[in-house]
Amino acid sequence: MSGKSLLLKVILLGDGGVGKSSLMNRYVTNKFDSQAFHTIGVEFLNRDLEVDGRFVTLQIWDTAGQERFKSLRTPFYRGADCCLLTFSVDDRQSFENLSNWQKEFIHYADVKDPEHFPFVVLGNKIDKLERQVSTEEAQTWCIENGNYPYLETSAKDDTNVAVAFEEAVRQVLAVEEQLEHCMLGHTIDLHSSSKSGSSCC
């Protein structure tokens, strides 16, 4: 167990109104506003936590989902360690737009290895009785688009909110451990002209 705190940047993306700001505010301040205003640009809040013995400062970046704010949010994607793709289970269009959000992030964050980037998908507002997207459908999308973890949340009821952010941390730590493992497993032979060994990264 390392004593040093790790700073991780996670970014919340998804259509306007799906509950990104509400999830961040529920997690950091434990408050919920049923009359929340749309976000303009980006905002961020920090929260310290411990996951599997690692101390982490989570820097949560909340973005404006409305299309007209695209140019204000995209400059902040670079350097994100994890992306939380968020939709609302009572809004089918927000689910269908997940692929667009994924592409927008990969492009503007300039992700070099999209296949291994840690995305987590959140289906928010599960307290609502009328759903337009089933759990199975969302899980299938996650499996088919990169095998991402899927969590159903309610910022209103505080269902799975902490679990979702902890999962984001776990995903980042898993990628980090894999990289460390790869680097330790590779010795560089300066005398050999051919590339030796197989790569796991």
Ligand X SMILES: Nc1nc2c(ncn2[C@@H]2O[C@H](COP(=O)(O)OP(=O)(O)OP(=O)(O)O)[C@@H](O)[C@H]2O)c(=O)[nH]1
Among 11, 14, 19, 21, binds Mg ion (CB under 5 A): 21
Check binding of 47 to ligand X (CB under 6 A): no
Mode of pairing for the β-strands spanning 54-63 and 6-13: parallel
Residue whose CB is less far from ligand X, 34 or 198: 34
Mode of pairing for the β-strands spanning 54-63 and 42-51: antiparallel
Check binding of 125 to ligand X (CB under 6 A): yes
Among 59, 66, 139, 145, binds ligand X (CB under 6 A): 66
Residue whose CB is less far from Mg ion, 39 or 97: 39
* 149 contact choice in Mg ion, ligand X, none (CB below 5 to 8 Å, kind-dependent): none
Q: Of the candidates 173, 171, 124, which has an alpha carbon nearest to the alpha carbon of residue 26?
A: 124
* 154 contact choice in ligand X, Mg ion, none (CB below 5 to 8 Å, kind-dependent): ligand X
Count interface residues toward Mg ion (CB under 5 A).
Answer: 2
From 32-40, 110-118, 137-145, 162-170, give the range in contact with ligand X by CB under 6 A.
32-40
Q: Of the candidates 133, 34, 122, 127, which has an alpha carbon nearest to the alpha carbon of residue 90?
A: 133
From 38-46, 68-76, 128-136, 181-189, give the range in contact with Mg ion by CB under 5 A.
38-46
**Which residue in this structure is represented by tokens 């109104």?**
17
* 16 contact choice in ligand X, Mg ion, none (CB below 5 to 8 Å, kind-dependent): ligand X
Q: Of the candidates 11, 185, 177, 35, which has an alpha carbon nearest to the alpha carbon of residue 83?
A: 11
Check binding of 39 to Mg ion (CB under 5 A): yes
CB–CB of 74/104 below 8 Å? yes
CB–CB of 14/144 below 8 Å? no
Neighbouring-strand partners of residue 63: 42
Q: What is the 3-state secondary structure (H, E, C) of 16-57?
A: CCCCHHHHHHHHHHCCCCCCCCCCCCEEEEEEEEEECCEEEE
Residue whose CB is less far from ligand X, 43 or 137: 43
Min dist CB 39 to Mg ion, Å, is: 3
Residues that bind Mg ion (CB under 5 A): 21, 39
Residues that bind ligand X (CB under 6 A): 14, 16-22, 33-34, 36, 38-39, 64-66, 124-125, 127-128, 154-156
